[in-house]
Amino acid sequence: MISQRRCVITLCLLVIKFEFANLSSAPVECLKPFCQCQKKVNGKAVCSGRSLHYIPRLPKYVRSVTFTNTSIRFIDKCGLFNLTFHQIEKINFTGNVLRSIDKDTFLNLTFLDSLIVSSEPHLNITSLKLSFQSFPKLKMFELGFNFNFWKSLPRDMFNNYHVSNVKHLNLQGNSFTYVNFTTFKTITSLREISLANNSISRVSLTRLTSLIKLDMSSNLLPRVPTFCGRNDTSYFPNLDTIILSRNNIGFLGPKSFRCLPRLSTIYLDYTNIGKLQDNIFSSLPSLRTLHLLGIGNPLRSITQNAFNSSSLETLNLKASHFHFDIKHRYDANKIFASCPNLKILHLTENYMPFDDSTFQTIFRPLKKLNKLYLTSTKILNLPRNVFTNMKLLQKLNLDDNGINGWNDSYRIFGNMTHLKYLSLRHNHISVINETTFPDELLSRLKSLNLARNPFSCICDQMWFKNWIQKNGSILIEYPIGYKCRHPNSMNGLLLNDYKPTDKMCNPWNPLYTMAIVMGIVVLLILAIGSIAAKCQGNIKNYIYLLRVYHNRKQGYIPLDSEEDYEYHAFVVYCDNDRKWVHNDLLNKLENEEGLQLCIHHRNFIVGDSITVNVDNFLKKSWKVLVIVSNNFAQSEWCQWEVDVVQERRRRQGKEVIVPIILETIDSKHMTSQLRTLLDSTPSLRYRSGVGTELFWKGLLESLRKPLGHPPTSLLYSRI
Ligand SMILES: *[C@@H]1O[C@H](CO)[C@@H](O)[C@H](O)[C@H]1NC(C)=O
Ligand SMILES: *[C@@H]1O[C@H](CO)[C@@H](O)[C@H](O)[C@H]1NC(C)=O
Ligand SMILES: *[C@@H]1O[C@H](CO)[C@@H](O)[C@H](O)[C@H]1NC(C)=O
Ligand SMILES: *[C@@H]1O[C@H](CO)[C@@H](O)[C@H](O)[C@H]1NC(C)=O
Ligand SMILES: *[C@@H]1O[C@H](CO)[C@@H](O)[C@H](O)[C@H]1NC(C)=O
């Protein structure tokens, strides 16, 4: 047997000499169909196939080679001969049928720094151990012996100078039940060990000062190992990360994590811890990240100071199904009060409270939050005055809740001056409009996810459609994730394909018509009002004129005609109104219309007394014009004339007298005689400007109007 083997080796050496001589310089192809070589990806080659029995030559660039599912059984220096043409750095044997590895195997692989031997249950562990001596000195960086079903490790497994430089040791997926860490003590550079996926229920720790990361997830540990050595010294004084997820750990107390001064990250995901007690983590001065995913399943209670840690920055309680909506399970006031430096909080898949006030209480201490995940937490209404206090929040995830919509966007999203990423994916939001988010929030966001909401493709969505046109690039999953649910006829249509037009969405609203009509009516009323205020007299004059025409049509026969008199009218006026009488009245009636008026200034006979004059000339005048003004009302002489004139009215009827009101009479000047006159006789109101024509027309009509018509004055009594 021995001689046979020696013979094989000699043969191999002969072959080596031969091949070196002939083939070393020739370019080599990747061996088909077994191997796949990728020059770009760090010169990686993967060779597999049950009919591959040997290690082939590979292209020169190959640095890392994996043999998987081949029929390679034994390896030795000679078998690896073909790899000596390369600067091979990494070798991986996974799922072959390895039985043994020769102690000289790696002798000529001077660049080797990583060896993985996985899923090789038949490999003789002792032969592997002995082969370590052929590793290049102080070069090995990584060793991985995974899924080999090893039940235990020889105590002297790594008792070899050639592996003392290993930094990553992976022993996942074996069948260890007990691990004595003394085995690793000789690997003085060891930084990371993975013992995940074993059946470890017991460990014996020893001081490993270089260890930074320990992964013992998916084992059967009943409790957190004790990291304190004699005199409370730490076994792992530099340990930064410990992964204890998926173990049988059912209890954590204030003493669980002691003597780990540098520990910053703990994973306890899916452990059975149903109750988080006070000060579990408070003895860890460097703790920054706590992963408690799916803890307790469900987590039933959290005591006041469970998260007492002033250094804690990240807390992941995802999928713990904790009821923040059940008051006695925790203290809303205290729960996060002792970890005020929290920056990242995952509360996905828990039950958030329904009321704003509990929400506010829970989150009040967390002023430094950067990221908050409230995905799938049964929120139906966004809480007010909660996020608004998180001035540093950059990312908020509210996916997979039942959020419908909200009114008070400022009290929900106001003041969030740092928010950049907002996700409300898969809620019940149907319409997004200008009131949904505060303007300044939208302009600050870098990404917004509203996908998988049941959008209504109705005109109310116009604003959002227009917004998308300008800012759509920040929308995540647009357009494919945005579909219409309502109305039924549009169910399934992409929001992007819903094209409402202005015409469809802004039809002429009957309200607009009403508003316009009302506006016009109001304007008209105002206009008429102001015209009426200005032309009150004109209107009266006009009505007067109409009446005159009307009476004439009725066919009244004049009893007393103007031809019987010398003057057409006797003018009663006050001296102060002389100017108007002489200039305007005389000019118009005498010069233009050819009437003859009796003016006391001009016509009275000097020498006769006034009373005689008045009496005489009144008799010669067909009608009497009374020019009423404030001065007139104040003058006694004029009042006397009114009395005289009234006498004439009584005899001949009211058409005899035509009062002309020059200006509005102040009520304090109004005397009873004057009032009687104006009340009993239709009067004309003088207007300068616009109404002048009408006034003159009315005046002429009334001057020419025959006497003896039925009384009409009362209807038009004025002032
Ligand atoms: C080296 O590779 C060549 C071809 O790729 C193969 O024919 C030869 O048998 C291999 N040598 C060893 C020692 O396996
Ligand atoms: C334990 O610590 C004490 C005080 O810190 C010290 O006096 C003693 O020597 C230490 N013992 C050991 C074995 O290190
Ligand atoms: C929180 O932890 C610190 C540090 O361990 C401790 O001094 C303090 O008493 C704890 N607070 C409470 C309320 O238990
Ligand atoms: C926003 O902050 C200001 C000043 O800090 C505060 O007065 C105001 O009430 C806050 N608004 C909301 C909605 O929280
Ligand atoms: C925006 O949409 C909400 C919910 O549909 C609605 O209550 C609100 O009146 C809308 N605001 C505007 C300005 O259309």
At residue 267 the predicted structure's pLDDT band, cuts being 50, 70 and 90, is very high
Token code pair at residue 102: 């020769």
pLDDT (0 to 100) of residue 715: 35
Residue of the CA atom closest to atom 7 of ligand 2: 231
Query: Long-range contacts of range 590-599, CB-CB < 8 Å, 24 or more positions apart?
Result: 593/700, 595/568, 595/569, 595/703, 596/566, 596/567, 596/568, 597/567, 597/568, 597/569, 597/570, 597/571, 597/625, 598/567, 598/569, 598/570, 598/571, 599/571
Q: What's the gap in Å between 193 CA and the centre of ligand 2?
A: 30
Decide: 309 in ligand 3 pocket, CB within 6 A: no
If you average pLDDT over residues 298-324, what whole number do you get? 95
Percent of the chain surpassing pLDDT 90: 54
- Give 329-350 pLDDT, tens digit per residue: 999 999 999 999 999 999 999 9
Strands 44-49 and 35-38 turn out to be antiparallel
- Please check the confidence at residue 314 and state whether its pLDDT lies above 90: yes
* Buried b or exposed e, range 27-58, using 16+ CB within 10 angstroms: ebebbeebbebeeeeebbbbbbeeebeebbbb
Residue of the CA atom closest to atom 1 of ligand 4: 415
Q: Do residues 150 and 173 lie in contact, with contact meaning Cβ atoms separated by under 8 Å?
A: no
Q: Return the half-sphere exposure (C-beta side, CA atoms, 13 A cut-off) of residue 418.
A: 15
Integer-rounded Cα radius of gyration of the chain? 56
Question: Which numbered atom of ligand 4 lies nearest the CA of 410?
Answer: 13
Strand-pair partners of 449: 423, 476
Report the distance separating Cα 327 and Cα 320, nearest Å: 17
Token code pair at residue 587: 């000019």
C-alpha closest to that of 378 among 410, 401, 360, 396: 401
Report the distance separating Cα 329 and Cα 386, nearest Å: 21
Report the distance separating Cα 457 and Cα 494, nearest Å: 9
DSSP of 377-401: S---SPPTTSGGG-TT--EEE--SS
- Please check the confidence at residue 20 and state whether its pLDDT lies above 70: no
- Please check the confidence at residue 639 and state whether its pLDDT lies above 80: no
- Please check the confidence at residue 247 and state whether its pLDDT lies above 50: yes
pLDDT (0 to 100) of residue 383: 94
pLDDT (0 to 100) of residue 500: 79
Report the distance separating Cα 645 and Cα 656, nearest Å: 9
Percent of the chain surpassing pLDDT 70: 91
Q: What's the gap in Å between 479 CA and the centre of ligand 5?
A: 23
Decide: 56 in ligand 1 pocket, CB within 6 A: yes
Decide: 303 in ligand 3 pocket, CB within 6 A: no
Residue of the CA atom closest to atom 1 of ligand 5: 433
Question: Relative to the alpha carbon of 228, which ligand is closest?
Answer: 2
Decide: 315 in ligand 1 pocket, CB within 6 A: no
Report the distance separating Cα 173 and Cα 661, nearest Å: 119
CATH 1.10.357.10 for the 534-718 domain, yes or no: no
- Please check the confidence at residue 649 and state whether its pLDDT lies above 80: no
* Buried b or exposed e, range 618-638, using 16+ CB within 10 angstroms: beebbbbbbbbbbbbbebeeb
Helix/strand/coil for 547: helix
Report the distance separating Cα 612 and Cα 609, nearest Å: 5
Question: Relative to the alpha carbon of 85, which ligand is closest?
Answer: 1
pLDDT (0 to 100) of residue 12: 58
Residue of the CA atom closest to atom 6 of ligand 4: 415
Decide: 183 in ligand 3 pocket, CB within 6 A: no
Contacts of 292 (CB under 8 A, 6+ apart): 268, 269, 276, 299, 315, 316, 317, 320
- Please check the confidence at residue 25 and state whether its pLDDT lies above 70: no
Number of H helices, E strands in the chain: 16, 32
Question: Relative to the alpha carbon of 30, which ligand is closest?
Answer: 1
Report the distance separating Cα 404 and Cα 412, nearest Å: 14
Decide: 31 in ligand 1 pocket, CB within 6 A: yes
- What region does 426 belong to: left with phi over 0, alpha with psi -120 to 50, or beta? left
Q: What's the gap in Å between 257 CA and the centre of ligand 2?
A: 21
- Give 280-302 pLDDT, tens digit per residue: 999 999 999 999 999 998 999 99
At residue 1 the predicted structure's pLDDT band, cuts being 50, 70 and 90, is very low
User: Which residues are near ligand 4 (CB < 6 Å)?
Assistant: 385, 388, 410-411, 414-415
Report the distance separating Cα 128 and Cα 170, nearest Å: 15
Report the distance separating Cα 128 and Cα 519, nearest Å: 99
Helix/strand/coil for 47: strand
- Which range (178-187, 462-471, 571-580) has the least confidence? 571-580
Give, as one character, the DSSP assignment of residue 83: G
Decide: 279 in ligand 3 pocket, CB within 6 A: yes
If you average pLDDT over residues 536-546, what whole number do you get? 67
Decide: 58 in ligand 1 pocket, CB within 6 A: no
Residue in 14, 54, 80 to alter for ligand 1 test, most ligand atoms within 8 A of Cβ: 54
- Which range (249-263, 396-410, 632-646) has the least confidence? 632-646
CATH code 3.80.10.10 region(s) in the chain:
20-136
CATH code 3.40.50.10140 region(s) in the chain:
534-718
Question: Relative to the alpha carbon of 384, which ligand is closest?
Answer: 4
Q: Do residues 281 and 308 lie in contact, with contact meaning Cβ atoms separated by under 8 Å?
A: yes
Query: Long-range contacts of range 377-383, CB-CB < 8 Å, 24 or more positions apart?
Result: 377/347, 377/348, 377/349, 377/350, 377/351, 377/352, 377/401, 378/325, 378/351, 378/352, 378/402, 379/352, 379/403, 380/354, 380/404, 381/354, 381/406, 382/406, 382/412, 383/356, 383/359, 383/412
Write down the CATH number for the domain with range 20-136: 3.80.10.10
Report the distance separating Cα 625 and Cα 539, nearest Å: 20
Residue in the structure block whose two tokens are 């009062």: 659
Q: Do residues 249 and 273 lie in contact, with contact meaning Cβ atoms separated by under 8 Å?
A: yes
Question: Relative to the alpha carbon of 233, which ligand is closest?
Answer: 2
Q: What's the gap in Å between 241 CA and the centre of ligand 2?
A: 28
- Please check the confidence at residue 535 and state whether its pLDDT lies above 50: yes
Decide: 482 in ligand 1 pocket, CB within 6 A: no
pLDDT (0 to 100) of residue 719: 34
pLDDT (0 to 100) of residue 710: 45
User: Which residues are near ligand 2 (CB < 6 Å)?
Assistant: 230-231
pLDDT (0 to 100) of residue 714: 35
Q: What's the gap in Å between 308 CA and the centre of ligand 3?
A: 6
- Give 121-172 pLDDT, tens digit per residue: 999 999 999 999 999 988 899 999 999 999 999 999 999 999 999 999 999 9
Question: Relative to the alpha carbon of 460, which ligand is closest?
Answer: 5
Q: Return the half-sphere exposure (C-beta side, CA atoms, 13 A cut-off) of residue 56.
A: 24
Q: What's the gap in Å between 335 CA and the centre of ligand 3?
A: 14
Q: What's the gap in Å between 428 CA and the centre of ligand 5?
A: 15
One-letter identity of residue 110: T
Decide: 282 in ligand 3 pocket, CB within 6 A: yes
- Mean pLDDT of all residues belonging to the chain: 86
pLDDT (0 to 100) of residue 311: 95
Q: Return the half-sphere exposure (C-beta side, CA atoms, 13 A cut-off) of residue 586.
A: 17
pLDDT (0 to 100) of residue 707: 75
Decide: 166 in ligand 1 pocket, CB within 6 A: no
At residue 718 the predicted structure's pLDDT band, cuts being 50, 70 and 90, is very low
If you average pLDDT over residues 656-666, what whole number do you get? 84
pLDDT (0 to 100) of residue 48: 93
Contacts of 26 (CB under 8 A, 6+ apart): none
* Helix (H), strand (E) at residue 593: none
Decide: 304 in ligand 3 pocket, CB within 6 A: no
- Which range (242-246, 281-285, 398-402, 703-707) has the least confidence? 703-707
One-letter identity of residue 710: P
Question: Relative to the alpha carbon of 461, which ligand is closest?
Answer: 5
- Which range (370-379, 392-401, 429-438) has the least confidence? 429-438
pLDDT (0 to 100) of residue 221: 97
